[in-house]
A and B are shown apart, each in its own frame.
Chain A
Amino acid sequence: MNSEVYVAGSGCTKFGELHDRDAGDLAREASFRAVEDAGVEMKDVDAFYVGTVRSGAAGSFLAGAIGVRGRPVTRVENFCASGMDAVIHACIAVMSGSARVALAVGVEKLRDALRRGLGFRAGHPVWGFGATPPGLFALAANRYMHEYGIGRETLAKVAVKNHRNGAKNPLAHFRREVTLERVLKAPIVAYPFGVFDCSAVTDGAAAVVVAARDAATGLGKTGVTIKGFGSSVMHGNPMYDPAFEYLGFPVTEEAARKAYGMAGIGDPLKELDFAEVHDCFTMTEILNYEDLGFAPKGEGWKMVEEGATEFDGRFPVNPSGGLKSFGHPVGATGARMIFELHSQILGRCGERQLGKADVGLAHNVGGPGTVSSVMILGRT
Chain B
Amino acid sequence: MNLKGAVKGLSLYLPKFRIERGLIAEQHSTRARGTRTVRWYDEDEFTMAFEAALKLVEAAGGSDVGCVVFASERGPYRLKSTAPMIARMLPNARDVLAFDIAGSDRVSADGIAAGVAFSQISGKDALLAGGSSIQGGAGSQEEMSGGDAGWAMLIGEGGGLVLESAHPVSADDFIRWDRDGEYVSLPDGFTVPYQQTPSMLRALRGCSKTRKPKTIVLGSASEQIAKSLSKRIADDGVNFVSNPVEATGDLGPANLPFALSLALKECGKGDPVAIVSPGDGALCFSGVVEDPPSVKVIGANAGEFETLKAYGTYRKIVEYSFDEADASPIAYWRDAGKILSLTGGKCAECGAIFYPPSEVCPSCGARGNHEETSLARKGSIFTYTTDHITPSPTGKVTHTVVDLDGGGRIYTHMTDFLGETVEIGSTVELVIRNVHSGGGIKNYGWKSRIKSA
Which A residues form the contact surface with B (CB < 8 A)?
116-117, 121, 123-132, 134-135, 138-143, 146, 187-193, 235, 237, 239-244, 246
Contact = CB atoms under 8 A, between A and B. Distances in A.
Contact of A141 (B335, B385, B399, B445): B385
B327 A117 contact: no
A121 B327 CA distance: 10
Contacts of A129: 324, 413, 435-436, 443, 445
A240 B354 contact: yes
Interface in B268-294: none
A235 to B, nearest CB: 5
B388, B410, B435: most-surrounded residue (chain A CB, <10 A): B388
Given A125-B328, A126-B444, A146-B424, A239 B401 contact: yes
Contact of B387 (A134, A140, A239): A134
Chain B interface category by residue count: 35 or more
Contacts of B383: 139-140, 142-143, 146, 246
A191 B422 CA distance: 11
Contact of A241 (B354, B385, B424): B354
Contacts of A139: 383-385, 399, 401
A325 B445 CA distance: 38
A239 B403 CA distance: 10
Contact of A190 (B328, B362, B382, B386): B386
Contact of A128 (B407, B411, B439): B411
27 contacts: A124-B335, A125-B332, A125-B335, A125-B436, A128-B411, A129-B324, A129-B443, A131-B390, A131-B399, A134-B389, A135-B390, A135-B399, A138-B387, A139-B401, A141-B385, A146-B383, A188-B420, A190-B386, A190-B388, A191-B385, A193-B385, A237-B356, A239-B401, A242-B353, A242-B403, A246-B382, A246-B401
A125 B324 contact: yes
Contacts of B413: 129-130
A139 to B, nearest CB: 5
Nearest to B340: A126
A84 B420 CA distance: 36
B352 interface: yes
Interface string B412-453: 010000001100100000000001101100011100000000
Contacts of A126: 332, 335, 339, 435, 443-445
A251 B423 CA distance: 28
A322 to B, nearest CB: 21
A362 to B, nearest CB: 27
Interface string B325-356: 01110011001000100000000000011111
A155 B298 CA distance: 42
A123 B397 CA distance: 20
B355 A240 contact: yes
Interface string B24-65: 000000000000000000000000000000000000000000
Contacts of B328: 125
A241 B397 CA distance: 21
B399 A241 contact: no
Given A240-B356, A240-B409, A130 B382 contact: no
Interface of B: 324, 326-328, 331-332, 335, 339, 352-356, 362-363, 382-391, 397, 399, 401, 403, 407-411, 413, 420-421, 424, 435-436, 438-439, 443-445
Nearest to A239: B411
B388 A189 contact: yes
Given A129-B435, A193-B385, A239-B411, 8 more contacts: A129-B445, A134-B385, A135-B385, A188-B386, A188-B420, A190-B389, A191-B387, A246-B401
A145 B399 CA distance: 17
A70 B385 CA distance: 49
B439 A125 contact: yes
Contacts of B386: 188, 190-191
B389 A117 contact: yes
B420 A242 contact: no
Given A139-B399, A143-B383, A241-B362, A125 B331 contact: yes
Contacts of A123: 326
A116 B387 CA distance: 12
Contacts of B403: 242
Contacts of A244: 409
B445 A142 contact: no
A82 B373 CA distance: 37
Contacts of A134: 385, 387, 389
A148 to B, nearest CB: 13
A355 to B, nearest CB: 39
Nearest to B401: A239
Nearest to B322: A130
Contacts of B335: 124-127
A242 B443 contact: no
Contacts of B324: 125, 129
A62 to B, nearest CB: 26
A116 B388 CA distance: 10
Contacts of B331: 124-125
A226 B213 CA distance: 91
Given A121-B326, A128-B411, A240-B409, A135 B389 contact: yes
Contact of A142 (B332, B356, B424): B424
Contact of B363 (A117, A143, A243): A243
